[in-house]
Amino acid sequence: MLELAVQKVVVHPLVLLSVVDHFNRIGKVGNQKRVVGVLLGSWQKKVLDVSNSFAVPFDEDDKDDSVWFLDHDYLENMYGMFKKVNARERIVGWYHTGPKLHKNDIAINELMKRYCPNSVLVIIDVKPKDLGLPTEAYISVEEVHDDGTPTSKTFEHVTSEIGAEEAEEVGVEHLLRCPVMRKIKHMLPNENKVKALYTQIFIKRRETSKTLQWALFPSGSQTRSMV
């Protein structure tokens, strides 16, 4: 049986919401089918705790999988600033909004290995159709062929779940008290509350983003553009 460097990936709520915001912002100015960013966190044995993230400029050719661009200079500058805030959060991998694996993901992952040898890819579905986890985690492995041809890299699926610190859990419970979530809260058992909450946030992402934007920054588009 293949021994993986990571057995479970725990994704924090902040990461999910940041990715949704990233997708929404890019969607307003272009026609990219997916967005890409960096995951920050820490390792505890073979459990990866993904506690933060940031967006990275990315572009690709829809007709040619070998043509893509990820701004690693921007990546390094942003990571330098994040380290000043929290030195314990290291680069642990990257994300994209999929919703499925792409042919050039292996190549992008090889670039990310410059910053994290055991780079993990987390695909976050910002358009979920079902209640459940919007995340799929993968790690690259060497695939050995029976015919003796050279090995090739492929992705192996890794278990993922949504996890939160105590303060984050308080925030989740607060959101679950809102009218939109009240029915779902009573319909589902406790362990499904977080899944239900974030699935609904993704489904309602555009409405939620617009409402929060105007509620928090009602005066002046210049202030709103800073969010």
d(CA 102, CA 104) in angstroms, rounded, equals 6
Q: Residue 213 — pLDDT band, cuts 50, 70, 90?
A: very low
**pLDDT tens figures, 170-180:** 776 666 566 65
List the structure tokens of 179: 């009218």
Amino acid at 159: T
Q: For 151, which DSSP code?
A: P
Q: How much is the average pLDDT of 112-124? A: 96
Q: How much is the average pLDDT of 149-155? A: 89
Among the residue ranges 24-28, 41-45, 159-163, 200-204, the one predicted with the least confidence is 200-204
Identify the residue whose tokens are 């409402």: 211
**pLDDT tens figures, 19-40:** 988 998 888 787 788 999 999 9
List the structure tokens of 117: 């040898």
Q: How much is the average pLDDT of 122-127? A: 90
- If one counts every other C-beta atom within 10 angstroms of the C-beta of residue 108, the result is 18
pTM over 0.75: yes
Of 209 and 46, the structure prediction assigns the larger pLDDT to 46
**pLDDT tens figures, 86-97:** 999 999 999 999
Please determine, for residue 196, whether its predicted confidence score (pLDDT) is greater than 70: no
Of 141 and 128, the structure prediction assigns the larger pLDDT to 141
**pLDDT at residue 148 in the model:** 76
Please determine, for residue 218, whether its predicted confidence score (pLDDT) is greater than 60: no
Task: List domains and CATH numbers for the chain.
Answer: 8-163 (3.40.140.10)
Mean pLDDT (the chain) is 81
Q: Residue 167 — pLDDT band, cuts 50, 70, 90?
A: confident
d(CA 94, CA 110) in angstroms, rounded, equals 11
d(CA 14, CA 45) in angstroms, rounded, equals 23
**pLDDT at residue 77 in the model:** 97
**pLDDT at residue 143 in the model:** 87
Identify the residue whose tokens are 């990219």: 32
List the structure tokens of 137: 């985690």
| Of 42, 8, 28, 34, residue with least CA distance to 133 | 8
Of 183 and 17, the structure prediction assigns the larger pLDDT to 17
**pLDDT at residue 30 in the model:** 75
Q: What are phi and psi of 67, to 5 degrees?
A: -105, 110
d(CA 174, CA 124) in angstroms, rounded, equals 24
